[in-house]
Chains A and B, each alone.
Chain A
């Protein structure tokens, strides 16, 4: 979809004209917004504030594209937040002027549920209702419940209907029934099937996951000349050392724990006067790319974006650069991820750079399965059983597994690789689930906890503060945290906190925006400390290779509550003593129900604080060889 097409669909003509009265009759709102409106920070529709978006994400302003287009095209997928326009209310009021019901039963239902109906949640969850400028309560009462929409974050309309079929037979709005009768009767509110049921019901196939990442438009792909100009910079630098790194994305464009680690690696090489080439797939796939023998590969040269090129072009230019006499005398390689790469094509590039050995980092278990965190059907850690097992037969990743393992095998057979894991337990798991030829193994943690002096204790009386750190992903334990909030969030003297990039609406959770950036990598630990979180629940479903958030939580003085057998997460809680390992979800809920969770309060224990001392990743491993 072009920018114009995208905006034509998303810019609200009526809203724009109402809010900004100066449009010429011959121009559409979308065209005006694209040409100049966004530069004047005009809002394109009621649900998007241009000003809020560019203030929150300065990279969007720097990119010089219409913020709404950025949001639709990439921001939304990256979990970025769109805030409503400040003009939305005026526009909405002008249109509706209060709600009127034709049907008396609807009016009665609306009156009964109004207090517990969450309009903000409804509009955020159902953008079509927001876009149509409908009154959310009226919409829910008149049709939303029949469409299975939920009135707030706590109540499942479909779930209640399913376990109370008599309500459906009576043709009654389930939420209305629950409030006036069901709650008092002690009726079940939803099927007792657990959150994994929903994950399974929506589980995409590998083909669907592949389709999420559209192909790269031709105009974005550069040619050999362009790449030669970029690599020429290195040749002129006169540096004698080269480091090539490979990962699944452009670490300068996306922010995350791994990307920050790669930035540290790159910065260290830069400081040491080492030329640095980073290779990443232009299509950030979740699998090795065995379908495209010459995929488009992104290249960073000494931290600058050289562009996107066919892998064969990268190999051709690399060979030319490497052949020049008097160039690099020392070369090193780190592979952080082969996802998105076609491994034969990648091997050709590495050969062209004359790289025969290197380091392979264990950030996940993608070398053992197409499900890179070894979660069978995204619901249970499987430990990579034999590929012909029933577990793999019924797993959505099963069919792709052989291919992905074969792709990694080719890589390991072509390049001598030393496997580096950030934790001993991770290395042990990696060795148990892989049968690849390796040169050696190493354990090198991403960070260390260094004790520091504690700030003076706080003696104010306050509720117990339980936190969740980072993106609300199922495999990181968000559904379990949400379930804790459902059960204990409205009373019990517990205050739930979410620290991350975007809030989850409709839940009694205190949200604090925390965005770790290069300049402030320990923002999360500082926020944990500032908010005085007593404990952080990290209920991962997978075996964590490192689990930076656990270190961040501990550094900020919180205790970590974690499940058994979750790799380094469980191990680090045991090793540091700064937390608690529980057997299973039942034990977790018992821990809250029994009130034992209050023993984690800062005033009930000795609070320890730490600084985070980050590793420089591969730069720590190759640097000493060169000195």
Chain B
């Protein structure tokens, strides 16, 4: 285990339960990696955090990242955009921490086997991406869901990426940070889908890019049409015969269930894995975290921030200059201007 790896996930307290499950799996299967929780949020009142048994080596709050005018910047983002955008500055920063490589995993992923091959790939490559789908689809709905979905939202799933902290890897991290700080929005008509569409450009503009088509990585409901899960006699899972490395449990809930059933069909091992994950998340859930909680979701007076307010603020540099703290709610605040606009 020669490589020093800094592994991180980006989440809010609403996803703390999922992150705990992921980080416990990292502790089990990649114990030599440094595990960093990147949190774009503030702890809800009454929450004991971190707990003694929390598997995080380091906790970094987004507001402590080198992001100029943080309040103004984050106001331009909804929760998904914000949590995605901070991956950029964190990654660029991680290149100067002494680590040899950085691995990002979404909080709703979970390891089922060691990720040693990732380290081996990074010995000869600088950047590692996994595509959403790694084989052509055949069925009509799968083409609509998956191939056309990839065309809209990006070829590579950025629930996972890995890069070296030197050479092309470091160049990539710097570029990625710059783009995400400025353009990490869910704006499909404009060709943007948070960080993912940006990475479509990566094989074109950087050398040393490895595309990992191994079906054992990033297994998710949407790509089960081409992946079959089985249990091996030694008690490990296999995907199309190769080891299952990590699963991406996107959208825990009814939508995921329908999607999972559509593609998994009678591959019951899929449901075993999902059911286990649901139980783990349930057990890792703190009742002190209110449903849908996000500290940056409200003005300081408690009013919820409308998406239209964020879009207006994002679109108009004059507003950003006029209201450097858009969360404020008193007289002559951005909030007041929006409410008056709506009334007037």
Interface residues of A (CB under 8 A from B): 162, 191-194, 196-197, 200-201, 203, 376-377, 379-380, 382-383, 385-386, 389-395
Contact = CB atoms under 8 A, between A and B. Distances in A.
Interface string B254-276: 00001001101110110111011
Contacts of B268: 193-194, 196-197, 200, 379-380
21 contacts: A191-B261, A192-B266, A196-B266, A197-B261, A197-B271, A200-B271, A201-B275, A203-B275, A377-B272, A379-B272, A380-B231, A380-B269, A382-B231, A386-B234, A389-B234, A389-B235, A390-B236, A390-B237, A392-B235, A394-B272, A394-B276
Nearest to A191: B261
Contacts of B272: 200, 376-377, 379, 394-395
B253 interface: no
Contacts of A197: 261, 266, 268, 271
Given A200-B271, A200-B275, A379-B268, 4 more contacts: A194-B265, A194-B266, A196-B271, A377-B275
Interface string B68-111: 00000000000000000000000000000000000000000000
Chain B, interface size category, equals 20 to 34
Contacts of B258: 162
Contacts of A393: 276
Contacts of B236: 389-391
Contacts of B112: 390
Nearest to A381: B231
A391 B231 contact: yes
Nearest to A162: B258
B46 interface: no
A386 B233 CA distance: 9
Contact of B265 (A192, A376, A379, A380): A192
A192 B231 CA distance: 21
Interface of B: 112-113, 231, 233-237, 244, 258, 261-262, 264-266, 268-269, 271-273, 275-276
Contacts of B233: 383, 385
Contact of A193 (B113, B235, B261, B273): B261
A24 B99 CA distance: 88
Contact of A391 (B113, B235, B264, B275): B235
- A162, A393, A394, most chain B CB atoms within 10 A: A394
Contacts of B237: 390-391
Nearest to A192: B265
Nearest to A379: B268
Nearest to B237: A390
Contact of B231 (A191, A200, A376, A386): A376
B266 A193 contact: yes
A385 B234 contact: yes
Contacts of B265: 192-194
Contacts of A203: 275
A204 to B, nearest CB: 12
Contacts of B276: 393-394
A549 B70 CA distance: 72
B275 to A, nearest CB: 6
Contacts of A394: 272-273, 276
A385 B266 contact: no
A201 B275 CA distance: 8
Contacts of B235: 382, 385-386, 389-392
A254 to B, nearest CB: 31
A389 B235 CA distance: 5
Nearest to A197: B271
A81 B269 CA distance: 35
Contacts of A385: 233-235
Contacts of B262: 191
A579 B271 CA distance: 33
Contacts of A201: 271, 275
A192 B234 CA distance: 29
Nearest to B268: A196
A308 B276 CA distance: 39
Contacts of A386: 234-235
Contacts of B269: 380
A349 B87 CA distance: 64
A386 B235 CA distance: 7
A507 B170 CA distance: 66
Contacts of B231: 376, 380, 382, 391
Nearest to A199: B268
A191 B271 CA distance: 14
Contacts of B273: 394
Nearest to B230: A380
A162 B255 CA distance: 11
Given A382-B231, A390-B236, A391-B236, A193 B275 contact: no
6 nearest CB pairs, A to B: A389-B235, A385-B235, A194-B266, A391-B235, A394-B276, A196-B268
A222 B268 CA distance: 48
**Which residue, of B113, B262, B265, B268, has the highest number of chain A Cβ atoms within 10 A?**
B268
A383 B273 CA distance: 18
Contacts of B271: 193, 196-197, 200-201
A395 B276 CA distance: 8
A200 B264 CA distance: 14
A616 B233 CA distance: 36
A391 B113 CA distance: 12
A213 to B, nearest CB: 22
A395 B262 CA distance: 24
Contacts of A382: 231, 235
A398 to B, nearest CB: 9
Nearest to B233: A383
Tell which of B113, B235, B258 has the most Cβ of chain A within 10 Å. Answer: B235
B227 to A, nearest CB: 16
